[in-house]
Amino acid sequence: MSEVTQELVGRTQIISINRPEARNALTLSVLGLMRDAFTRATTNDAVRCVVLTGEGGHFCAGADLRKNMEDPRLMERTDEYIGEFHSVIKAILGCPKPVVAMVDGAAVGFGADMALACDLRVVSTRSYIQEKFVNIGLMPDGGGTFWLPRLVGTARAMQWIMLGDKIEGPELAHHGIAVRAVEPEDLRVATLELTKRFESGPPLAYAAIKRAVYASWGSVADALARERAEQLKLLHSGDVMEGVLSWMQKREPNFQGR
């Protein structure tokens, strides 16, 4: 079974991360498969809407730290890794069709950034988005510093990013980040009810709306470049080493600011 599955329902392409044993955490191979899936959905005239989701009760737990740390050249390749992660965000943004995140369970770290990069979100009541990077001495690097201030304002965005707080499903709907928060068993039906409207809607208008709205916000590419530059500095800090070790050892980190 592929680590990324695709299912066409009507004129909606569902792209699912299929690593439930790892809460759909991301590896380089998964990122490549996701990017390819979005490319195919973008060029397929039979597809009018795309849904991004995860299998097994979670959306995405972010980068698979354990798997990625098996790469002996990881620290030499951090810029390359970030580029691969950014390619998925760019694929989501570059898709001219409406992209809906169907979020159940955890959307953490880069998983949170992917959900926020989608045009709309439908979530379950047990779901949550969490910019958890700060807990290991990092910052969002998939556009989180771009999306959240624009979605909810600077003050609340700073709270959620700097404290790493969870934003629970009902709260996501309350703040307008999600279209709806429904019970987990109703999530697929609620999401497909929304995408059905896009299937019969005007595709050229949707593409133009996406271009105009995102252009009015300023450059997402500039935001990703800023996050990339700052994250690369953090990735080579002692604090990140301590953060990752403490996470692996299941203890509180002792950050030293070095």
Indicate the SS3 state at residue 182.
Answer: strand
State both tokens at 39. 């490319």
Q: Which value, to the nearest 10 degrees, does the dihedral of the CA atoms of residues 201, 204, 207, 210 take?
A: -70
| Structure-token match 């910019």, residue found | 131
Rounded CA gap, 72 and 70, in Å?
6
Return the pLDDT at 240: 86
Instruction: Report how far residue 49's alpha carbon sits from residue 47's, in angstroms, rounded to the nearest whole number.
Output: 6
CA dihedral of 14, 165, 19, 29, whole degrees rounded to 10: 90
Q: Give, in order, the Cα–Cα distances in Å from 60 to each of 102, 150, 254.
A: 11, 22, 27
Q: Which two three-digit tokens encode residue 255?
A: 């950050």
Q: Burial of 215 by CB count in 10 Å (0-12 exposed, 13-18 middle, 19+ buried)?
A: exposed
Residue 218, pLDDT score: 86
The answer to whether the beta carbons of residues 190 and 122 sit under 8 Å apart is: yes
What is the residue type of 24? N
Structure confidence at residue 242 (pLDDT): 86
| Per-residue pLDDT tens over the stretch 243-258 | 888 888 889 889 888 8
The pTM of the full predicted model, rounded to 2 decimals, is 0.92
The domain locations on the chain are: 4-186
Per the structure block, which two tokens stand in for 64?
């698979």
pLDDT (0 to 100) of residue 256: 85
CA distances, 31 to each of 16, 24, 28, 74, 182 (Å): 12, 11, 5, 16, 28
8 A C-beta contact, residue 108 and residue 164: no
pLDDT score of 106: 98
At 2, is the secondary structure helix, strand, or coil? Answer: coil
The segments of the chain whose pLDDT lies below 70 read 68-69, 72, 74
- Residues 84 and 101: their CA atoms lie apart, in Å, by 20
Domain 4-186: state its class.
alpha beta
